[in-house]
Each structure stands twice: as C-alpha cells, then as structure tokens.
Structure 1
C-alpha cells in the first residue's frame, strides 16, 4: 500500500474528484450500473443530487447549469436507453459550446462485446457529438480521466465530454492519488492583433459586431458593451445569444437568426467591417450562410474565438484572433486610441431595435402574444431568466423581450424541443432569488413536461407560459409554405391534456388564458404565488409568428 493513500472504491474516488473540481450539483436518473457512485454521494452533502424523471431532462438541466455557471454541468445516467435518452442534451451542449460532462454507468468489463444487457459502444456512439468520449477501465486512473474531462470540456471551444464507467470498476477498492482542481486556461489576446483591429476601425465606414457564443461570460459582456458604446459600434447578438450584452446598452442592435429585424440584416449586408466575437457564425446566425457568406467579398472579417480550430474552419478571416473572450473584451475596453472617431451607427441601430421590439396590438387577434410580452417586461426585473425550447412561439420573446446581462437567456441554438422546462428547473435551483420563466409550445412542453415532478420535489419556484395552438407549429409553417392545403402529420388534434389540471397534478397552480386582455390579470395572480405556476395561453394556429400568418405563406406558395 502506498504510504498516506487510503484504499477507496472507484465510486468514492470518482465523487472525491468531483469535489476536488468544485462540483456542487449533479443531475441524474439513477441506474444500477453506478450504485457505487450513489453510495458515495450519500456521504457527500456538499454535492446537491437532483433526481430527475427522464434522462433527456437530466442532460438538458446539466447543459443549462453549464451555461449559467461557465463550469461543466454534471450528469449521471445509466447505459443503453439512459445514454440514448441523454444524447439529445449532449448534442445541444456540442452545438451550443456548453461545458458539460456526462457519466454513463456501463456494464461490467468482462461482459463487454457480448451484446450484454443494454450494451452500446459508448465511445463510438457519442464520438460525433462530444469533444471527447472515453471509457474508464481502471479505478486507479479515475482522477486522471476526470481531470482531463474538466480540461477538455472547458478549454478552447467548450463542449461536452462523455465518460463510460463500468459498474464493476466502480466497486473495485484501490489506491489512487487525487488530482487538484483544473484551473481555467485563458489565451491572452495579442496586443498587436488588437492594435490591428483598431486600425481597421479607423478605415471603416460601417462596422458591426456580432457577439456571443463560446467562452462568453458576464465579464466579456460588460467590457465589450463598454468598448462598443464608447466607439458607437452596433452590436448584434448571434442566434439565441441575446444576453451576451445587456439589451439596455445604447448600441445593442438586436439578434440575428430567425425572425430578425430586416433593418439589422441590411446593416450586416452593408457593413464593410464585421467583428465576430465568440460566435461561430453558424447557419442560423447567418441565415444559411447567406447574410454573411464564408468568403464575404467586399467585407473585412475580424473573427475572435477561443479555439484556433474554429478560425478559418468555415469563414475566411482577414484578422483571426485566438483569445479568451473575457481577456479580449477587457483589453478592448481598456485600449486607448484618441484618433478613432465615434460612429453614429450604434445609436441609430439601437433606436431601430427599440422600435422593432415594441409590441403593437393587432386587430382581430384574440390572443396576441406581443402585448403579453410587453406586460411581462413592465412587471419583471432585468435579471429574470427566460427559458425556451424550439418553436415559433419563442419568436415573440426573441423579438419583444429585453434581456439583461448573462445569464438571462437559456435557449438552445441547436433548436431542440423540450429544453425550456428542464432549463427552468435548473435555473430555479441555481438562482432561487431570481424570477424564472419557461416559455413553451404545447408540442414542445410535452416532450419533457414530466420534469414538473422534479420541480415539485425541489419546491422550485417557476412560471410556465404555455402557448397552445394545437399543432407542431413550426413544421406546420414550413408545410404550408411548401405544400399548401396539404396538412399531414403536424396537427395535435384533441390529444393535448388539460394543462391547468396537469400543473395542479404536480401541486402547482394554473389558469387558462384565451384573450390578450385577460393575460395581465392572470399574470399578476401567477406572480403573487410561489411554486409551480402555469398560464395556458390559447392561440390561433393562423397567427404562426409575430410577422407571418399561414394565409400569407399559402399565398406565397
């Protein structure tokens, strides 16, 4: 026996490594394949174990927690169906550049490659959607693997790591030396590159910044907003990165992606200098790589990203800068260049966004979500966390809500359904003193509606705004455009439950809202209560977005 090192089970060693890395919360659906870990957690009150109802909810909660903290969100699931259920959340973390670690309890080492009970080749299964996927076969190497997992999940472009942990390995009693906490790796920006950026700004007539994404932080948002406002540079948020800077910043210009302000899109087209900071410039942000093309003729692109592998991967960068987002934004904020003339475009763009984000009532619409969002804006503080999954319903909040500094938006850039409620549960636990609102469509909500049980078990305080049009609305929109008057497979019919009773079944409160005028009173009553609250808002499928009706889509088709 090595002097000074006690013998421990693999499960105990693993939990001790989580403690060493500063983990304070994990999300799980228990499995017999990692009972040794659960046993070790019994004696580790420093780690809050959140027991969920389905592994999809587990992974989404871990992703949301990683987004909010900047540290890896931690999830534990069992093999086979548990791992496959969680794979959607791993894909979200990959596309959203979220630090996350998924531990998968696996079958015993001696039974591998026999198609044992629930067996899957975990490394091969997760390889396409994880930064790193590995199997730990020796309990003595658990500290090494866990430390590496934290490093990989947070370094460069953050993302998910998947570690398979065989059940018999977790029961082994061995000696293992603990690893110290893995410190963040910060790539300092090159002052020469920053000086070159300021020279490009001096030559520019119409610059614009696109921000948010990998390694973004409240620190980065604060400093970048200062820099952009001081020099009058319009700041556009990448798709679903609307909290990258406080929307109160006087040069904030709105979000790119689905349903953006056409005036903002034109500003991007007309820009002679584009400064992309943190964003990958993916398909959604660039409207299918057309708003800003990979070769961007006639435009100069400064691309700043924490991962050198992303620079030049799709977009040709005239000035690529690999740097930590917080360090880069702070250097910009502190850089002094008296020769740079302030642009007037930033404040003009902000005014255009204010006009665009001010809801105007529409005639002949019983339930108009725009004014409803306006009511919420008037009554909720700037630190409210808005959580949503995928669907056209989210467009009203993307357009009309004013987001405060990060983290105030939890929404998957990957466009997955069912994300909003698990994210809201995670947010209500991480920030119990802040209002948390889940915005969901009827189809979207029922993909993880069971996580209301998790919310109830933890006495979580959250509000659900459930937008019900009886359809898979986004798919119906595309269907009406491509195959008008041939509705197939997109109607939910009478299959939806009584959502008010659904909330009440979990000990919550709910009410049905059928008109715009009734929304404010219902919202006030909800906010006067605690716990789970749900507003079931009935909307017309014809009013598919805040700018489009199905009738218009049919006419275009």
Structure 2
C-alpha cells in the first residue's frame, strides 16, 4: 500500500493574502467594508483573488457593518466586514451591536496600528479588547488581536467557530498593519461547520407531558439558526398538535403568516388580543427567541422571574437559558435539531384547545383590517406591496413607520423563499437601506423592498451609491417622509403635550436625491398613485426610490396610527 504524500506547504505570500485565502476556504465570496491604509495588504489580497471573492467598498463603516450583518442573516454563515482603526471601528460598532442583539454570525476585521507603535496612543489607536470586550451585555462573543502571521488561519478558524456555535453572534479580529505585510507559508484550514446540539430525550418527554396537561398552549418561535428544513419541521409539529404559533419580534418569517395556525407577531405593536392570549395561556413554548424586552412587551407578557404560565424555553445558547425566566423545561438545542425532535412527539387524536387555536388565527386575520387614512394610506401601500411582491426580501430600520410593514405584510415561512425579513431587533436606525443593498447584491435576481422612515433613511442613504456602483437592479426603497422623528414625537406628545422639541426634520427632496445617485425615483402623495408606481418599479428592473409624503400626524397620533397599538407606546425604540 502506497503511503499518502505529505501535505504540501503553500508558497510564502503576504499575511494579508493568506487572510483572503482563508476566507475563500470558508465559503466567503463577498466582503463589505470601507478601505483603510491599515489593511492595504488585505485589499491587495482581494485584488489577487478577485475571480473568487469580491470586496464591496461602502460609503460609511456603519453601512458596511449593517451589510455584513444582513449577509449573516441571509446565508446563516458569518457576514464579513473590514474597517480601519479608530473612526472606522467606532462607526462600525452599530452593526456589531446589531449582530450581537440579533444573534447573527459575523466577523469584523479591524486594521490596527503597527505593533511597534502600540500603547503610545498612536494615530487612531484604540484597544479593541477593551472597547468590544466580550461579556453578557457586550458587542462581541470574542475579541482578539493577531500578532503572528503564521497563526492567522488558527484565529480565523476559531472566529468562524465562535460566530456559529451555540447562540450565533459577532467576533472581532484586530489586524496590526505590519503583521499583514509579513510573509507566511501557513496553510488555510478547511471550512468550519457548527456542532449541532440535540435536545435530551428526557426533556422531550417533559415537553410532551406539559402539552398533554395543557388547555391553552401557544408557541412563540423566532431567533436565529433556522433553515428551511427546520421551519418545515416546526410547521409539522404545530400541525400535529394544532398549536397556535406567534413569531417573535422581527423574526416574522420563522412561521408562514398565511398558515391557518398563525396567530401573529409577538413584538412592538402586538395585537392586544394576541397579548391577552399569551397572558392567558397555561403553556408557552418559546422555540428559539431570547424572550427579550420587545418580544415580551417589556417583560409583561410573562412575569419575571417566574411566569404564571408553564414555560418551555428552547434555545441554542446555554447561557441564555434561565437568564431572565425560570422555565419549567430548559432545553438547549440548535433550531435545526430542536424542530426535528419536537416533530417526533406523538400527539393525541384530538386536543382540547382546537377552538382556542382557531380563535387565535381569526384574531390575526381581523387585525389585518385597517381604518382607512387619507390622502395616503400606508396600510393600503403595504397591501399592494404584499400582493405584487410576495416573495421579496423586505428590510427596514427602526421607527413608527415599520409598524405598518410588520402588521400588514404577510411573511412566508423561510422554507418557501429563504429569509425574507431583514430588520434589527436592536432597534438600530439606518439598518434598512444597507441591508437591502446587501440582499440585492447577494441575490441579484430577487426583488428587495426597503421601507424606510425619513430620519432612518438619512442615516445611511448614501449607500444608494454602493447599490449603483455595484450594479444592484431589483431594489426598491420606499421612503416614508413625515418630517419628524415620529416615534420620539409620539412619546413627547404623550409625556409632554404641546412641548415638542428636537424631533422636527428638515428633509431634502428624496426623489431628486435618488436621481443624483442614478436611481429612478417618484414622489407620491396619494394612495391611488402608489400601485402604478410600484408596478413600474418592478417592471423597470432598475433601482427605484418612491418618496411617500405623509402628514406627521398619521404616524404620531394615537387616533390615526392604526399600526402602533396603545400597548406598545412605552416600548417602542427610537
């Protein structure tokens, strides 16, 4: 028998080139960032391997980090972002924080000052292990600085493992400028795959026992780590037991919104009837979500620390289980394993909560009926979008305007079209436009629809230039312009009536601005104008901005904002 030949040693190349090769080995074909002199050797590596990986040069590091976070959501693999030291890293921190709170796998690479200049407060020097240090409420799961170029593959492999394992999240790798220019013959490591955790058989028996004893159960599904197979398994589990299913805050594509078991979204602007149903339930099965502030309506749907309801909490991260709520069953498992395991639980021939479940879906359907608003009805706008682009990827940032999308759009389960909701559970303004650009560049044949408020859009709207520069086509941005930071004004009018301060906006002509970036654009002021304009945007195959001029009162007053419920007034992030 002939012995296998020993592995060959790659030729020496710059560490910056090795880094790019390591990313390619991990299946990365797109990275986002803003170029900086601190990682020129990496940029040269992207040029060297431009036939296998592309570097998308963005207009601001916050936008680049948002794009990488969106990439992580869409692919389930770590989104990649490169920024330079100091200002670049601080700008990117918003996307890092979003990835942390949204449990999105991501790796942020930060150029650093040369090693012989460290600890002198050199130009733009920051200690990122202090700035982004891991912790319960930190920015990242792991932060490291690579001093030895020969260990780069080791660090990158660990970064991908850490970003993907358990509760997914962001990792920061800091790259001293001089390290990247040193030669190395280190080999790249093979593609990292996460280790999957299956639920313990005893815990599954306990879940079944709780179901058999229940009269009013409800499922809250969400969080990260889902794929098409897991969502199908979740649907079959719900069907076997005839369970009502609500989706956690901004994870509305976890369960098909058109399914007869769907009960609605459990988040900001929750249907009051659904909120009451969660409180009245005798068993809550939380499959995947963290059960954070927004999903629990400020920790009021379930009492802290011991809910009145029986609680089964399924989550991929052991550190999250029992962190806030003392559950009856704590089940650590990856979503792809948990859903398959739950599907195997033998259901009885009938259940006593059939009418309860049917009523939950009927409440959801009734909540889709809005009160008409003139002259421009946002509920009807979303209905048109929902009808004409049902399988599009939808993105938004933060603000009252997002309530219309969350309430009236019916998200398909991601088993049908992949992930279709990109929205920050962190409540980060400015997320929607970069996320839409990332989605459009990653999936050029899919329609991507961004809904943005005026304040939200102007935080990252310059990324329209990125879309134009890299050839995004089927991308539509709908800007809801009411001339105010609507959520803040709503709070002001509630807490300090007649004393509005600091929330008025002085906006440009958004349509003219979009045309300057090379986009098609229209300004709309009446409901009847929207459908032909949106249809034309879909037909054009060109990036299009639709500027919707709205009166401020439509999105701030209690009487006219049908999408934002009284129950959410004190819980809405800016």
Normalised by the length of structure 2, the TM-score is 0.93
Residue by residue over 1:48-74, the C-alpha shift from the partner in whole angstroms, topping out at 9 and shown as x without a partner, is: 211111100100000000001100000
**Do the aligned partners of 1:232 and 1:342 also contact (CA within 8 Å) in 2?**
no
The offset of 1:297, in angstroms, is 4.2
The offset of 1:405, in angstroms, is 2.1
Query: Does residue 397 of structure 2 align to residue 392 of structure 1?
Result: no
The offset of 1:346, in angstroms, is 2.4
Query: Does residue 86 of structure 2 align to residue 80 of structure 1?
Result: yes
2:516 maps to 505
SS in 2 for 1:465: strand
Residue by residue over 1:211-256, the C-alpha shift from the partner in whole angstroms, topping out at 9 and shown as x without a partner, is: 1003233322221112112211111111111001111222111111
Query: Does residue 449 of structure 2 align to residue 441 of structure 1?
Result: no
| Match runs of 1:41-190 below 5 Å | 41-44=46-49, 45-127=51-133, 128-190=138-200
Say which is worse superposed, 69-78 or 16-25, in terms of deviation: 16-25
- State which of 534, 537, 542 in structure 2 corresponds to 1:531: 542
The offset of 1:532, in angstroms, is 1.4
Residue by residue over 1:108-132, the C-alpha shift from the partner in whole angstroms, topping out at 9 and shown as x without a partner, is: 0000011111111111111121111
Query: Superposition RMSD on alpha carbons, in Å?
Result: 1.9
Aligned equivalents of 2:432, 2:128: Cα separation in 1:
27
2:412 maps to 404
Aligned equivalents of 1:446, 1:307: Cα separation in 2:
36
Aligned equivalents of 2:364, 2:457: Cα separation in 1:
30
**Do the aligned partners of 1:231 and 1:343 also contact (CA within 8 Å) in 2?**
no
Query: Does residue 40 of structure 2 align to residue 35 of structure 1?
Result: yes
SS in 2 for 1:309: coil
- State which of 233, 252, 255 in structure 1 corresponds to 2:265: 255
The offset of 1:550, in angstroms, is 8.5
Query: Does residue 381 of structure 2 align to residue 375 of structure 1?
Result: no
Aligned equivalents of 1:489, 1:184: Cα separation in 2:
47
1:21 maps to 26
The offset of 1:178, in angstroms, is 2.2
**Do the aligned partners of 1:251 and 1:346 also contact (CA within 8 Å) in 2?**
yes
Normalised by the length of structure 1, the TM-score is 0.95
Aligned equivalents of 2:98, 2:229: Cα separation in 1:
24
Query: Does residue 241 of structure 2 align to residue 228 of structure 1?
Result: no
Aligned equivalents of 1:84, 1:412: Cα separation in 2:
19
Corresponding pairs, count: 549
Structure 2: which 5+ residue stretches go unaligned?
Answer: 1-6
2:501 maps to 488
Structure 1: which 5+ residue stretches go unaligned?
Answer: none
The offset of 1:549, in angstroms, is 4.3
Aligned equivalents of 1:338, 1:318: Cα separation in 2:
22
Aligned equivalents of 1:200, 1:550: Cα separation in 2:
40
| Counterparts in 2 of 1:348 and 1:169: CA distance versus 1, 3 Å | same
**Do the aligned partners of 1:308 and 1:322 also contact (CA within 8 Å) in 2?**
yes
Aligned equivalents of 1:202, 1:391: Cα separation in 2:
41
The offset of 1:176, in angstroms, is 1.6
1:203 maps to 213
Which ranges of 4 or more aligned residues in structure 1 deviate by more than 6 Å? Answer: 550-553
1:238 maps to 248
